[in-house]
Amino acid sequence: MKKLVSLIVLLLLLTDAGAAFAAPKINTFERPARGSAYTLSQWALDGWSAPWDNGMSTRTWIDGYNFNHSGGQSLRVFYPQGQIDPPNSGAQAPFVLTPAKEYYLSYWVRFSSDYSWGTTEFAGKLGLGLAGGGACSGGIPCTGYNGFTSRMIWRSGGQAAIYYYHMDDAGQYGDYAVLKNPNGSDIYYPKGTWVNIVQRLKVNTVTNGNANPDGEIQIWYNGVSAANITGLRFVRNADQVDTAYFSSFFGGATASFAPANDSYVWYDDLKVSTNKADICELSTGGCFTRTFQAEDYTSMSGVMKETTPDTGGGQNVGGIDSQDWIAFGNVQIPRTGTYLVEYRVATPNNNGKISLDINSGATVLGEINVPNTGSFASYRTVSHVVQMTAGTYQFGLYAVTGGFDINWWKITQLY
């Protein structure tokens, strides 16, 4: 009997551990093809499912032409002049998460250089948020039985704040906390620059149906603590965080909140995890990244260096035929994890392919197709995701099928 009880306890502990560290979700928007709408079905192909959406098929666009934080593409969301609320502005969808008491999320965001915060009144939702249960919002009181929400917003002039619904809201609508710099000044979102937002939400404990005031929300802005809200009561039942709530629209009740001109927001590198260690933006120094100029190889076979027409000038590696390669020695990977590898390539040919390997081809990390970019003077960034173990390696870029030039390549840790 004792053995049976011990086995049951062990199984419960293992079950809790699995729930506490649910597999992370990530989206770098490297597919589908640039210029496509990022519909709910496309989200699902990348592992993000939601029961409904607003605007995904009509106001989102995979941008492979203008701006990206990593890789060669990002998600652009459109806010038409004079329009407010999810049916007519931006995009929204409640993406399903494995329920857990605590979650972290991270994303990179960029506002258009002429972004309008509103006409005469100012309020809008931004990016990913966290929610659970019935996800109370929209002026509906949170009772402890109908869930909770926590989403980023902007206010007048782009003032950054976290907007959250909990059981003890001061008024009809949710409470908000303005993000602060270390010196105590308010944070304002910049235009035309990528910034990073990280949120952590921990659901309160419940004792005999009573909600204990130990729920928490934390926000980091570009890796620095910007808000820390404690003593929160979200639930008095068993609801947990179960939704990554993509909410990106102009709010408000009248057209006075609408943008004065067409405006855009770009998103990249979305991450959601129960494990803080997966959010490398919070690591010392941020997510590891290193760029290699192709001409700085330590050894090669069959290639040549030439002046590049690509942005930034300098040289690129050309004359790449099938089975040619370039290698880069003594490259240190500091952390085991999942990495995005990017290649800056140009070719008028079809069917090019690069194989990335370590230690003279002993281990192939992955392969990627090189698309026809139109000419050797027209460069484009392509990328793929690979797994790497911490260590020091020689990396090789092997032309499975040649006929392309390469200017640089880059490694960036995702988690």
Claim to verify: residue 307 and residue 389 sit in the same structural domain: yes
C-alpha distances (whole Å) from 20 to each of 125, 217, 272 are 28, 17, 13
C-alpha closest to that of 86 among 58, 106, 112, 67? 58
Neighbours of 230 (CB within 10 A): 11
Tokens representing residue 206 in the block: 């419940």
Claim to verify: residue 278 and residue 294 sit in the same structural domain: no
Of 282, 297, 320, the last residue of a domain is 282
Spatial separation of the C-alpha atoms in residues 345 and 363, rounded to whole Å: 23
Strand residues in 90-222 grouped as ranges (E): 91-100, 102-111, 124-132, 148-154, 160-165, 175-178, 195-202, 206-207, 210-211, 215-221
pLDDT score for 259: 99
**Is 405 within 8 Å of 347 (Cβ atoms)?**
yes
| CA 203, 45, 73, 283 torsion-angle sign | positive
Summary count for the chain: helices (H), strands (E):
3, 27
Q: Which residues of the chain have pLDDT under 50?
A: 1-20
Residue 107 in domain: yes
- Burial group, residue 140, by CB count within 10 angstroms (0-12, 13-18, 19+): middle
Claim to verify: residue 255 and residue 393 sit in the same structural domain: no
Question: Residue 300's beta-bridge partner residues?
Answer: 326
Claim to verify: residue 152 and residue 208 sit in the same structural domain: yes
Which residue range(s) make up the domain with 342?
289-413
65: left (phi over 0), alpha (psi -120 to 50) or beta: alpha
Residue 12 in domain: no
Find the CATH number of the domain harbouring 265: 2.60.120.200
Residue 178 in domain: yes
Find the CATH number of the domain harbouring 343: 2.60.120.260
CA dihedral of 102, 200, 109, 126, whole degrees rounded to 10: 80
Residue 8 in domain: no
**Is 317 within 8 Å of 296 (Cβ atoms)?**
no
Claim to verify: residue 265 and residue 359 sit in the same structural domain: no
Question: Residue 285's beta-bridge partner residues?
Answer: none
Residue 209, helix vs strand vs coil? coil
Residue 301 in domain: yes
Half-sphere exposure of residue 386, counting CA atoms within 13 Å on the CB side?
22
C-alpha closest to that of 67 among 26, 128, 113, 110? 110
**Is 357 within 8 Å of 364 (Cβ atoms)?**
yes
Claim to verify: residue 224 and residue 346 sit in the same structural domain: no
Of 223, 251, 282, the last residue of a domain is 282
Claim to verify: residue 55 and residue 127 sit in the same structural domain: yes
Claim to verify: residue 233 and residue 374 sit in the same structural domain: no
Residue 3 in domain: no
pLDDT score for 7: 38
Spatial separation of the C-alpha atoms in residues 71 and 356, rounded to whole Å: 16
Claim to verify: residue 75 and residue 187 sit in the same structural domain: yes
Parallel/antiparallel/unpaired status of strands 304-307 and 160-165: unpaired
Residue with tokens 């998600």: 75
Number of separate domains in the chain: 2
Is the previous residue joined to 32 through a cis bond, with omega within 30 degrees of 0?
yes
- DSSP H or E stretch at residue 40: helix 40-45
- What letter would DSSP give residue 34? T
Amino acid at 131: A
Of 253, 282, 311, the last residue of a domain is 282
Our measurement of the distance from residue 295's CA atom to the centroid of its chain's CA atoms, rounded to an integer in Å, reads 31
pLDDT score for 66: 96
Claim to verify: residue 268 and residue 374 sit in the same structural domain: no
pLDDT tens-place string over residues 316-359: 999 999 999 999 999 999 999 999 999 999 999 999 999 999 98
C-alpha distances (whole Å) from 189 to each of 112, 125, 155, 180, 192 are 11, 13, 10, 12, 10
> Whole-structure pTM over 0.95, yes or no?
no
Spatial separation of the C-alpha atoms in residues 335 and 337, rounded to whole Å: 6
Spatial separation of the C-alpha atoms in residues 388 and 138, rounded to whole Å: 44
Residue 221 in domain: yes
Claim to verify: residue 324 and residue 233 sit in the same structural domain: no
Residue 11, helix vs strand vs coil? helix
C-alpha distances (whole Å) from 379 to each of 196, 330, 396 are 27, 28, 21
Residue 7 in domain: no
Spatial separation of the C-alpha atoms in residues 232 and 353, rounded to whole Å: 53
Claim to verify: residue 170 and residue 311 sit in the same structural domain: no
pLDDT tens-place string over residues 373-390: 999 999 999 999 999 999
% of residues, the chain, pLDDT over 70: 95
Spatial separation of the C-alpha atoms in residues 365 and 148, rounded to whole Å: 42
pLDDT score for 23: 78
